[in-house]
Amino acid sequence: MPSRLLPQPKTLYRTHPELVLNLCSCVTVMAIVAIVTFLLMRERASVEQAAARSASNIAQLIDTDIERNVELYDLSLRGLIWAIQRPELLSVPAPLRQQVLFSQAFTAPVRGDILWLDRDGNIVADSTSVIPRTANFADSKVFQAHRASSDLGMVVSPPFKARLGGLDWCISFSRRIDGPSGEFAGIAAGALRLAYFTELFQRLDIGRDSSVNLFNSDGILLARHPSYKDDPLIGKDFSAQSNFQRIRAGNDGSFTAKSSLDGKHRLYTYSRVNELPLLVVVALSSDEVYSSWRRTARVVGAATGLLCIGLLWLTLALGRELRRRHSAEQSLAELAATDSLTGLANRRQLDQVLRREWARAQRNQRPLAVLMVDVDHFKAFNQRHGHAGGDVALRQVAAAISRSIRRPADLAARYGGEEFLVVLPETELKGAQTLAERIRSSIQALPPFATDRQPVTVSIGIGLHTPGMAQDLASVLGDADEALYRAKANGRNRIES
C-alpha cells in the first residue's frame, strides 16, 4: 500500500518543550560562565598591567639614582683630570691638593673611592687619604684598554673584588688621562661599592618572594635584593639564560616567565640605565601579583557555580513539571479522543481526522478510502448474552480491527453502536479491499463467545475517493454506507464496494 503523507511540521517548542528548556538553560549557563570568565581574565590582565606599571616605576626610580651616581662619578673624574693637567698643582700643599683633586662626596667610603693612576699603573693620589695607598693596577683590563685606545670615554668595568679598603664587590668608572702631546699619562678611576645598590634596593617594598636586580650588559649580576653577605649569585654570569636574552633584546618592557633559579613563574620588568651598560630587572612573584585576584576569582567562581547549579536545578524542576503537565495533557487528549468501551478513536477524533485527510487528499490529488464495518446480527447477540456480553464482543472486534491496521496514517474509530469506520489515506480500491478482507477474516477467526456456536462476523462497505472526480466527503461516506447495506442484503459476512 502507498505510505502515509507526513504531517505538517510543528515547532520544536510545541513538540519538545523540555528539550528546548534544557537547551536554553544550558546556553544561559554557558553564557554566564563565558561572561564571568571574560571579566575575570580582563581583571587578571588589569592586575598584571598594574603590577608591571608599579615595577616599571621602581625600575625608573632606580635608574634615576644610578644615573645620578654615575654623573657624580663622571664629574669627579673630569674634575680630577682637569686638576691633574694644571702644572701649578704640584706646588700646592698636599692637604689642599687633596681637596682640589677629589670631591667631598667621595672622601667617605659610602660609595667607594677615586684613584689617580700614572702611566705605569701606580697610585699617585687617593681620595681616601692625603698619603696615597700603595698598589699597582697595570694588569687590570680597564687600565690596559685605556692605554691601548684614546677614544673610549668613560668605561664601566665588570664587577671585581676590591684590592684596597675591603670594599668587597665593586664596579669602576674610569677615564683616560692624556699628556701634553696626547700620549697616555694614566687614568682616573672611581670604584663604586655594589653593596650601595643593595642598600638602595632594601628601601623598596617589593614583596616577600620578589627581587630587584642590577645586571651589566654582559649578563653579570652586580647587585640584588634580597641578598646576604657573600651571596654566591653576585658576580654570576646569566647571559646564557633565556630570560636574560629576552631582557637584553630590548631597552625596557615586561614579560612573564619561569625563573631559572627556582622554577617559579615571575613577572619580569626591566629597564636599561640610559646609555650605560647596566640593566635594572624587577622580578615580581606571580603568586604575590595574582594573590588578590585569585581570592576574587575563587569567590566569584563559587558564586557563579552556585548560580549555575541553582539555575540548572530550577530547569530540571521546571522540566519535571512540564513532563507531568505534558503527560496529563496527553492523557486528557487521549481520553477526549478515545472511545471508552473499545479503546479506538471516538467520533470526535474521527471527524477531525476525516476532515484533515480529505483536505490533504484534495490538495495532493491522492486517493482516500473509508471502510464502514458493522457487526452482523448484533441485536440478536445482545439478546443471547446481554449488554455485558455485547460490550465484550465489541471490544474483541475493535481489537481485531486495530491489529489489522499496520500503517501509522490509518485510523480505526467507533462510528456508533456496533458500527466502526476505518480511514485509509492514499489507498486505492485494491488496497482497501485487501485490508477489509484482513479485518473480516480476523474477526471471523475469533473464538466463539461462551457457549455460542455462531461466530461473530462483520459486513464491510468500501467508499473510495478517486482524484479528479466530483466528490465530497459526505458522498464518499454515503458510498461506504450504501456498500455496507448491500453486503448486509447479500448475506452478511462479506465486503462490498
**Owner of C-alpha cell 474483541:** 396
pLDDT reported for residue 67: 86
Tell if the pTM clears 0.85, that is, is over it: no
**Contact partners, residue 156, CB within 8 Å, separation at least 6:** 171, 172, 173, 216, 276, 277, 278
In this structure, how many other beta carbons lie within 10 angstroms of the beta carbon of residue 71?
11
Alpha-carbon distance values, 52 to 63, 68, 112, 252, 452 (Å): 16, 24, 33, 11, 102
pLDDT reported for residue 14: 56
For each of the chain's 497 residues, which pLDDT tens digit applies? Answer: 333 333 444 454 455 677 888 888 899 999 999 999 999 999 999 998 998 898 888 888 888 888 888 888 888 888 888 888 887 877 778 788 777 777 655 544 556 788 899 999 999 888 888 888 888 999 999 999 999 998 888 888 888 877 776 657 788 899 999 988 889 999 999 888 887 887 888 777 777 788 888 888 888 888 888 877 777 888 888 988 888 988 888 878 889 888 888 888 889 998 888 878 888 999 888 888 888 999 999 999 999 999 999 999 998 888 888 888 878 877 777 777 788 888 898 888 899 999 999 999 999 999 999 999 999 989 988 888 888 888 999 999 999 999 999 898 899 999 988 999 999 999 999 999 999 999 999 999 988 877 777 889 999 999 999 888 878 899 999 999 999 999 999 999 999 98
List the alpha helices (DSSP H) in 249-290. Answer: 286-289
pLDDT reported for residue 94: 77
pLDDT reported for residue 463: 93
Question: Which one, of 421, 429, 400, lies nearest residue 353 by Cα?
Answer: 421
| Measured distance CA(21)–CA(32) in Å, rounded | 16
Q: Which domains does the chain have, with CATH numbers?
A: 12-337 (3.30.450.20), 341-496 (3.30.70.270)
Question: Which one, of 445, 425, 444, 426, lies nearest residue 495 by Cα?
Answer: 444
Alpha-carbon distance values, 30 to 36, 41, 304, 319, 331 (Å): 10, 16, 11, 19, 36
pLDDT reported for residue 166: 63
* Per-residue cell: 147: 692605554
Whether residue 9 has a cis bond before it, omega within 30° of 0 = no
pLDDT reported for residue 5: 37
Q: Please calculate the CA angle 94-95-99 and round it to the nearest 5 degrees.
A: 110
| Measured distance CA(393)–CA(386) in Å, rounded | 11
